[in-house]
Structure 1
Amino acid sequence: MGSNHKSLQAILGAPGVRGKRVTALSKDGLTDFVLSMISKKQELKEPFYVLDLGVVVSLMEKWSRALPLVRPFYAVKCNPDPTFLAALAALGSSFDCASRTEIETVLGLGVSSDRIIFANPCKAESHIKYAASVGVNLTTFDSRDEIEKIRKYHPKCALLIRVKPPDDSGARCPLESKYGALPEEVIPLLQAAQDARLTVSGVSFHIGSGATLAQAYRGAIAEARAVFDTASRLGLPRMHVLNIGGGFTSGPHFGDATSAVKSSLQAYFPKEHGLTIIAEPGRYFAESAFTLVTNIIGKRVRSELREYWINDGIYGSLNCILNDHATVTAKPLADTSNSVNPTCRRVRTYSSTVFGPTCDALDTVLTGYQLPELQVNDWLMFPRMGAYTAAAASNFNGFNMSAVTTHLVYSNPT
């Protein structure tokens, strides 16, 4: 508990968290906390998030144990919640930013610029100028035009050449169609950077978001080794940074991924003196730390089918179903003001459809899902809702998803 207590104190004292209410949870106390919150929302039944800072602490400690030599740069795009970012910063994370706004957000938490990588291979000129002005001096590239922009507007910036991994077929969201230099493009790009008097400090790759094939890391690390050797043959300054990207999840695939990374590093970079290894985990830290709670605002019965409308949906937090290919689950919680069984346990269930609040039929969250008989003003709780959820929400049809509040809790990490 010593290190956990220190981590909690670091988070509670961090800019962006200091002064906010954080509720300590007993073991398995999340449902009780949510019930207590919804009992206070009898008038304003808006959706809300619960962020468990204890989960964040546990995930950081798990990462440090599994990959002690790999420095995490959290991918801000996955979930830019300011309190969540502040907690990660307090735990020592660095940050992968892809835009001026993301850099501004992270710097605003007191994070130093050397803890930021501008990990977007294709950047607007104005964003490059801003990065130069605040001292963000590491970025990625995979084209000649990017080299020219950086030469003009940020010539002191160190570069990582982003290469296309040999295999990202196991990713939930592959990226290979958009980013990464092909093998035959590597030498011309390295020579173009050399001609522009820019320093290529290393190699970057990304096997795709939500990766399930751990061996994809091995092929990509082997590819990176080949680029290191190519740069050496070309007489470039010695490369010293390897960015193994993202793709990590906090579930059962994490162990396979870390084993593949460690064995591959041992095989291809066994005695690389002075090598800095970084990664860009996003959903690994964000997904399981957040729970979404929504209110049932409508109901229709058609024979044995139950249809419900909730006040968040595909155009809001649950856009992850479309944009991130997510499979969500829901736990029913009855309106505590008139229920003797608020957790809806041990009752008959019905095949149910859950719609979001907009007038678009696409706004369908669950179909054929087993739920007990619920009523308007009951609630549905969605776990593991931190990755690519609120970050991509819109205000379509006038539903203001940017106004969803977040309540902070702290469970004891296991």
Structure 2
Amino acid sequence: MHSLIEHRIPGNGLHAAKDLLARILQAREPYTMHGDITGLFDWLGDDGTEWCQEVERHRLRGSLLMSDKRMMPRPQTEEVRFLPDITAGASVGVTFGDVAFAVSLDPPHVSRLDGPGVATLLRNAFWALWENARETPRARSISKVDHTLLPERETRSSWNIPEEVLSDIRSTQRTTFLMNIGAIRHSYRQLVDLAPALDIRFSVKTNPDPRVLSALQEEGCGFEATSWHEVELARLAGASPEKVIFSAPVQELEDLRLAHESGVSVFVVDSVSQIDRIAKAAPDARCLVRIRTSGDHYAFINLSTKFGIPQAELIPMLHAVERAGLVPHGIAFNVGGQNEVATAWRDGIRQAHALAAECRLHGFPIEMIDIGGGFPIPVHPLVPRLEQIAPTINAELSGLHYLAEPGRLIAGDAGKLVAPVVSRAVRDGRTWLYVNASIFGVLQMMDRHRFHFPITTDRVDLDAEEYVISSLSCDGRDVISDSTILPKGVAEGNLLFIHFVGAYSAPVFNIGYGGVRPARVQYLD
């Protein structure tokens, strides 16, 4: 009889639940979580209800068991109990409130299933059930998940690497960063098609590569800049000043002055200090006041602790803008980086609309709402797709000028890092693979935010193995992944593919570190 492990979640349970999945499954015994776990429902979809409704509609029995209740309750305090049994061929049962999931993982070729590896298998099992529920018009149960397909399901990338490029990398054994300009264009066009009412301003800081910016300018995209340097990069790419917004809530006087002199007229503020600087540098500027919304605490990178004012302070801040001789023009918000809740932007727009109505009563006719960025890339299967997010945004837009500042959504999938394995070693029973890449260079998102990019390999084997993926640098902290499940037998000369690194990575941070050579950069069209 297993002992019962209890964990009480402080605050909202979304991030805690994600982080705890690995530890829960490592425990190999019943595990109960208490606390505010409403965010965990959001992780499953639109408040968790769409997922449950679809499954109930198609009555997926056998693989997924549900109680007689037709809807999952959403109290502020709920109990979630995990009953992991992760021996090969067994199933994993999970109970969310009154809804019980029994998912057969059946990984016959995986001898060691613990930590992030099992969390990945569980996520993919849920994903398979969800896809089946949406696409199958009649009752159908899933008895197992084919884990040989996990790399494709896990990356969901829109493009493949040409064979001639792979052959060259194998022959040279050079770590290579691939930037697909065609994928940049594809992502932008998809966003325009799905959300045509949004005025798109690509976040230059995400990937300031001139080829990326030029391609987007040719597509008709505008730009969001946070410094004079980024304004200049947008101008060099061919952007007109009216297609550039200066959104940094804090910036030096000289950058503000140069941006204004170049023709940029819309600036974002969230403090009296910034208002005073803009009044000196850009005396006729139009200002958007940045507020905090309720959605960014679900984001992988929370921005409200650093920027944005409480909504109750909006009217006084607009008065300060007016007193400084500037034009109160609109409201801005940002739901954080890599927000994986499909309704976060909808909720932010609703809050901004309510505030805009209040502003009009105080004599401030709000003309523009900037919904920011934060659109996620599919680094794991439960990340909502743009096809799910866009309709929730479109349904709220009415009568105003709406800006969006996507970055990672457009650039992320366009970049892949291909790293030949330099060395393989077994340390304390774990297999380590060493590559010529670093979290302090091209993969800096993995260091600063512990962002886990999907990793696959060219090695083909029905058996699987857990690996530690490490930089060859002499820095003990420079470990790319503590646990990655890949085919068995990956060794020197095999290629590792790190996906979705087109944002906040190479070629921007393509530097040498601790014996690591900068990656070779190659562009694809």
TM-score bracket for the superposition, by shorter chain length: 0.7 to 0.9
Structure-2 residue corresponding to 1:315: 440
Q: Which of 382, 385, 391 lines up with 1:253 in the alignment?
A: 385
Q: Per the alignment, do residues 128 and 216 of structure 1 end up closer, same or farther by CA in structure 2, a change over 3 Å counting?
A: same
Structure-2 residue corresponding to 1:137: 265
In structure 1, C-alpha distance between the alignment counterparts of 2:360 and 2:241, rounded to whole Å: 29
Say whether the 8 Å CA contact 2:298–2:340 is kept in structure 1. yes
In structure 1, C-alpha distance between the alignment counterparts of 2:232 and 2:375, rounded to whole Å: 25
Secondary structure of residue in 1 paired with 2:250? coil
Structure-2 residue corresponding to 1:233: 361
Q: Per the alignment, do residues 156 and 29 of structure 1 end up closer, same or farther by CA in structure 2, a change over 3 Å counting?
A: same
Secondary structure of residue in 2 paired with 1:149? helix
Q: Per the alignment, do residues 29 and 220 of structure 1 end up closer, same or farther by CA in structure 2, a change over 3 Å counting?
A: closer
Say whether the 8 Å CA contact 2:197–2:394 is kept in structure 1. no
Can you give the 5+ residue segments of structure 1 that lack an aligned partner in the other structure?
1-26, 333-342
Q: Per the alignment, do residues 346 and 106 of structure 1 end up closer, same or farther by CA in structure 2, a change over 3 Å counting?
A: same
In structure 1, C-alpha distance between the alignment counterparts of 2:217 and 2:236, rounded to whole Å: 11
Give the TM-score normalised by structure 2. Answer: 0.65
Q: Per the alignment, do residues 191 and 378 of structure 1 end up closer, same or farther by CA in structure 2, a change over 3 Å counting?
A: same
* 1:386 matches 2:509: no
* 1:359 matches 2:474: yes
* 1:37 matches 2:168: yes
Structure-2 residue corresponding to 1:263: 395
Secondary structure of residue in 1 paired with 2:178? strand
In structure 1, C-alpha distance between the alignment counterparts of 2:348 and 2:169, rounded to whole Å: 47
Question: Residue 216 of structure 1: CA displacement?
Answer: 2.2
Letter of the 1:239 counterpart: I
* 1:204 matches 2:319: no
Letter of the 2:273 counterpart: D
Letter of the 1:260 counterpart: T
Structure-2 residue corresponding to 1:242: 369
Matches within 5 A, 1:279-318: 279-302=404-427, 305-318=430-443
In structure 2, C-alpha distance between the alignment counterparts of 1:171 and 1:58, rounded to whole Å: 25
Residues 99-143 of structure 1 show CA distances to partners (whole Å, capped at 9, x for unaligned) of: 111111111112111111111011111111111221111110011
Question: Residue 213 of structure 1: CA displacement?
Answer: 1.7
Q: Which of 152, 155, 163 lines up with 2:283 in the alignment?
A: 155
Q: Per the alignment, do residues 357 and 39 of structure 1 end up closer, same or farther by CA in structure 2, a change over 3 Å counting?
A: closer
In structure 1, C-alpha distance between the alignment counterparts of 2:435 and 2:350, rounded to whole Å: 48
Secondary structure of residue in 2 paired with 1:122? coil
Q: Per the alignment, do residues 169 and 33 of structure 1 end up closer, same or farther by CA in structure 2, a change over 3 Å counting?
A: farther
Can you give the 5+ residue segments of structure 2 that lack an aligned partner in the other structure?
1-157, 379-383
Structure-1 residue corresponding to 2:514: 397
Q: Which of 178, 183, 201 lines up with 2:311 in the alignment?
A: 183
Letter of the 2:436 counterpart: N
Say whether the 8 Å CA contact 1:217–1:264 is kept in structure 2. no
Letter of the 1:408 counterpart: Y
Question: Residue 73 of structure 1: CA displacement?
Answer: 0.5
Secondary structure of residue in 2 paired with 1:358? coil
Secondary structure of residue in 1 paired with 2:179? strand
Question: Residue 329 of structure 1: CA displacement?
Answer: 2.6
Number of aligned pairs?
361
Q: Which of 81, 96, 106 lines up with 2:224 in the alignment?
A: 96
In structure 2, C-alpha distance between the alignment counterparts of 1:298 and 1:72, rounded to whole Å: 44
Q: Per the alignment, do residues 107 and 28 of structure 1 end up closer, same or farther by CA in structure 2, a change over 3 Å counting?
A: closer
Q: Per the alignment, do residues 189 and 138 of structure 1 end up closer, same or farther by CA in structure 2, a change over 3 Å counting?
A: same
Say whether the 8 Å CA contact 1:304–1:350 is kept in structure 2. no
Question: Residue 375 of structure 1: CA displacement?
Answer: 3.7
State the structure with more CA Rg: 2
Residues 65-108 of structure 1 show CA distances to partners (whole Å, capped at 9, x for unaligned) of: 21101011111111222212221111111111111111111111
In structure 2, C-alpha distance between the alignment counterparts of 1:75 and 1:137, rounded to whole Å: 17
Question: Residue 304 of structure 1: CA displacement?
Answer: 5.7
In structure 2, C-alpha distance between the alignment counterparts of 1:40 and 1:157, rounded to whole Å: 55
Say whether the 8 Å CA contact 1:207–1:220 is kept in structure 2. yes
In structure 1, C-alpha distance between the alignment counterparts of 2:405 and 2:449, rounded to whole Å: 17
CA RMSD after TM alignment: 2.2
Question: Residue 253 of structure 1: CA displacement?
Answer: 3.2
Say whether the 8 Å CA contact 2:205–2:504 is kept in structure 1. yes
Structure-2 residue corresponding to 1:195: 323
Question: Residue 239 of structure 1: CA displacement?
Answer: 2.4
In structure 2, C-alpha distance between the alignment counterparts of 1:202 and 1:293, rounded to whole Å: 44
Structure-2 residue corresponding to 1:109: 237
Question: Residue 303 of structure 1: CA displacement?
Answer: 7.7
Q: Per the alignment, do residues 375 and 218 of structure 1 end up closer, same or farther by CA in structure 2, a change over 3 Å counting?
A: closer
Q: Which of 277, 282, 293 lines up with 2:402 in the alignment?
A: 277
* 1:220 matches 2:337: no
In structure 1, C-alpha distance between the alignment counterparts of 2:346 and 2:428, rounded to whole Å: 53
Q: Per the alignment, do residues 250 and 398 of structure 1 end up closer, same or farther by CA in structure 2, a change over 3 Å counting?
A: closer
Secondary structure of residue in 2 paired with 1:192? helix
In structure 2, C-alpha distance between the alignment counterparts of 1:365 and 1:250, rounded to whole Å: 19
Structure-1 residue corresponding to 2:120: none
In structure 2, C-alpha distance between the alignment counterparts of 1:318 and 1:166, rounded to whole Å: 30
Q: Per the alignment, do residues 324 and 86 of structure 1 end up closer, same or farther by CA in structure 2, a change over 3 Å counting?
A: farther
Say whether the 8 Å CA contact 1:75–1:95 is kept in structure 2. yes
Structure-2 residue corresponding to 1:128: 256
Matches within 5 A, 1:160-171: 160-171=288-299
Q: Per the alignment, do residues 147 and 28 of structure 1 end up closer, same or farther by CA in structure 2, a change over 3 Å counting?
A: closer
Say whether the 8 Å CA contact 1:73–1:280 is kept in structure 2. yes
Q: Per the alignment, do residues 261 and 123 of structure 1 end up closer, same or farther by CA in structure 2, a change over 3 Å counting?
A: same
Single out whichever of 155-164 and 323-332 deviates more from structure 2.
323-332
Q: Per the alignment, do residues 262 and 107 of structure 1 end up closer, same or farther by CA in structure 2, a change over 3 Å counting?
A: same
Greater relative contact order (Cα < 8 A, sep 6+): 1
The percent of aligned pairs where both chains have the same amino acid is 25
Give the TM-score normalised by structure 1. Answer: 0.81
Secondary structure of residue in 2 paired with 1:285? helix
Say whether the 8 Å CA contact 1:97–1:103 is kept in structure 2. yes
